[in-house]
A and B are shown apart, each in its own frame.
Chain A
């Protein structure tokens, strides 16, 4: 039985993980110091979701992948120069804040609205993908709310694998406590999957894929609509960096035996 999917991946950009981050307070609430200057990457979990989507689409000819992303247009364009070379997709951009301090409800509302405007999207074949959390807000709540808005009640979080069966049903592995996976079978789309890291390696850059993607990405960015900030009743009392600095004892002259004895005693304390 031939199965095709329409896979919508939600994902935004985050500061490069190697950057030092410092919070500042602006008129609109907390933000990152020099936020617009920080190098950005596609959120790691969203990136996994995108690669899984492309892998799934490649295995099921006729399937299609969209990436719906809310971020400052200029930053998103920079990130797309790299991401576009990874896998084929069509970008649906929203020009708005990618800050971790925005509310997931607001973000979900914006993204769901953008998904609803995708021309020709067949919701009966829809798989809504995204990271199970982000490296900015880390809420793990956005995908569920988007799915609710779209009427999707088959939802999975912390997904590491989807396996499509011959009858069109699919088995999903979700992370649960204790390093285990819950195994579920969903008989058909639509469904929402918040991805953990999965098992796929990051695809290598492919300039041909990049050129094909950019033909649609650049016009989409030009047309991207503003997603204004909405007051969701969220206020921050404080945002601070952890101050704790430990007095580290450096032991350079102990033998392995001495170190092992000390560690063993410490473990047994």
Chain B
């Protein structure tokens, strides 16, 4: 197997995040000589993990300019480490930070990059990468002859490395000239804790469809009640919220529907395909939430008034033919 560089950026405390630990597992499974490259304000805790995992070399770029996610500085750091390592394969977790910076680094090094990898295997001494095309509608296994070959591994595809950190680690500092940049990272906008509807680590993805905003059996629309019920279910189950495109678009067009539902919640064609162990779709009809949106949801159930919904049949494990308002009202009472 060819030599591998695992590129990881550290968290604020200098440790490796879950996506980086998953990429470490994947790198070790490939079996090549492993170098770990670290970028961040502090790297010592991460370096001790890399040492315990058996990295032959640990390279690092540290310092204040490299604490914040920013293209110019991240690309410079990753480029310097990749050149110093000289590895044929560069594996990294598909975090927002690396997804922004590493394609440009691959270009600088005359290499190639594949993103959203969902699996890696060794085939004839080289890696073969699994990834999906056309919005998770078809899966391909691909190989490349160009090197260095950058691969960004999607989170949730392999188990995170879980060994005990080494007592100490030898870290080689890689010199890098801080690049000129016109960009200043000023902060992060996040919803208030009680308004948080996207929880990537939640066990349950609760998908709301446009049916919540349609006329109910009494001939009226009950949007306010829908809001309370959906938010109650999210709170009770500590679930993450997904929305169908039609529902999200209604919100974006300024109509008085589900104000907490934004494009960030959208699953499907132009939305996310999140990974959760369980998914419950409510008032959804269509290919996007059932097929594309929860391709990577393991157990799937749906509450739907249409027993013949062709999208749910064959895609969900259970379809309950019932009024979602009544079911979720009772569910919230049970979840307390």
Indicate if A18 sits at the interface (CB-CB under 8 A).
yes
Question: What 0/1 pattern do residues 102 to 115 of B give for CB contact below 8 A with A?
Answer: 01101110001111
B141 touches A236 (CB 8 A): yes
Closest to B96 in A: A176
Indicate if B319 sits at the interface (CB-CB under 8 A).
yes
Interface residues in A168-220 (C-beta closer than 8 Å to B): 171, 173-188, 191, 196-199, 201
Interface residues in B179-220 (C-beta closer than 8 Å to A): 179, 181-191, 196-200, 203-204
Closest to A260 in B: B330
Indicate if B175 sits at the interface (CB-CB under 8 A).
no
Indicate if A78 sits at the interface (CB-CB under 8 A).
no
A177 touches B96 (CB 8 A): yes
A233 touches B104 (CB 8 A): no
Indicate if A110 sits at the interface (CB-CB under 8 A).
no
B319 touches A248 (CB 8 A): yes
Indicate if B86 sits at the interface (CB-CB under 8 A).
no
B100 touches A173 (CB 8 A): no
Knowing A233-B112, A251-B321, A261-B334, say if A141 contacts B141 (CB, 8 Å).
Answer: no
Knowing A178-B190, A197-B266, A240-B138, say if A263 contacts B327 (CB, 8 Å).
Answer: yes
Alpha-carbon distance between A174 and B100 when the two chains are bound, in angstroms: 10
Alpha-carbon distance between A256 and B330 when the two chains are bound, in angstroms: 7
Please give the number of chain B residues whose Cβ is less than 8 angstroms from any Cβ of chain A in the complex: 97
Question: What 0/1 pattern do residues 52 to 67 of B give for CB contact below 8 A with A?
Answer: 0000000000000000
Alpha-carbon distance between A183 and B183 when the two chains are bound, in angstroms: 10
B190 touches A30 (CB 8 A): no
Closest to B203 in A: A267
Stretch at the interface among B37-45, B70-78, B160-168: B70-78
Alpha-carbon distance between A251 and B137 when the two chains are bound, in angstroms: 28
Measured CB to CB, the closest approach of chain A to B259, in angstroms, equals: 13
Interface residues in B93-149 (C-beta closer than 8 Å to A): 95-97, 99-101, 103-104, 106-108, 112-116, 123, 128, 132-135, 137-146
B326 touches A135 (CB 8 A): no
Tell me which residues across on chain B come within 8 A of A142, comparing CB atoms. Answer: 103
B200 touches A177 (CB 8 A): yes
Indicate if B317 sits at the interface (CB-CB under 8 A).
yes
B133 touches A154 (CB 8 A): no
A183 touches B185 (CB 8 A): yes
Tell me which residues across on chain B come within 8 A of A237, comparing CB atoms. Answer: 123, 128, 140-143
B318 touches A251 (CB 8 A): yes
Alpha-carbon distance between A196 and B321 when the two chains are bound, in angstroms: 35
B335 touches A267 (CB 8 A): yes
Q: Which of A100, A148, A156, A176 contacts B108 (CB 8 A)?
A: A148
Alpha-carbon distance between A171 and B182 when the two chains are bound, in angstroms: 12
Count class of interface residues, chain A: 35 or more
A179 touches B264 (CB 8 A): yes
B331 touches A260 (CB 8 A): yes
Measured CB to CB, the closest approach of chain B to A132, in angstroms, equals: 9
A175 touches B96 (CB 8 A): yes
Tell me which residues across on chain B come within 8 A of A17, comparing CB atoms. Answer: 135, 269, 288
B103 touches A154 (CB 8 A): no
Alpha-carbon distance between A265 and B133 when the two chains are bound, in angstroms: 36
Indicate if A15 sits at the interface (CB-CB under 8 A).
yes
Stretch at the interface among A3-11, A65-73, A101-109: A101-109
Measured CB to CB, the closest approach of chain A to B275, in angstroms, equals: 13
Tell me which residues across on chain B come within 8 A of A254, comparing CB atoms. Answer: 320, 322
Alpha-carbon distance between A153 and B79 when the two chains are bound, in angstroms: 13
Tell me which residues across on chain B come within 8 A of A188, comparing CB atoms. Answer: 182
Q: Which of B190, B295, B326 contacts A180 (CB 8 A)?
A: B190
Alpha-carbon distance between A176 and B187 when the two chains are bound, in angstroms: 12
Alpha-carbon distance between A262 and B301 when the two chains are bound, in angstroms: 11
Tell me which residues across on chain A come within 8 A of B252, comparing CB atoms. Answer: 199, 201
Interface residues in B210-254 (C-beta closer than 8 Å to A): 237, 249, 252-253
Indicate if A45 sits at the interface (CB-CB under 8 A).
yes
B133 touches A101 (CB 8 A): yes
Knowing A237-B143, A259-B322, say if A154 contacts B182 (CB, 8 Å).
Answer: yes
Given contacts A138-B133, A179-B190, 8 further A-B contacts (CB under 8 A): A21-B134, A100-B133, A105-B107, A157-B100, A176-B96, A180-B188, A242-B137, A249-B319
Q: Give chain A's interface residues, CB within 8 Å of chain B.
A: 14-15, 17-18, 21, 23, 30, 32, 44-45, 48, 100-101, 103-105, 108, 135-142, 144-145, 147-149, 153-158, 160, 171, 173-188, 191, 196-199, 201, 232-242, 245-252, 254, 256-257, 259-264, 266-267
Instruction: Return the 7 tightest CB-CB contacts between A and B, nearest first.
Output: A179-B198, A141-B103, A260-B330, A233-B145, A256-B326, A144-B103, A155-B71
12 example contacts (A-B, Cβ-Cβ < 8 A) are as follows A135-B134, A138-B132, A138-B133, A144-B103, A155-B104, A180-B190, A184-B186, A242-B137, A242-B295, A248-B319, A262-B320, A263-B301
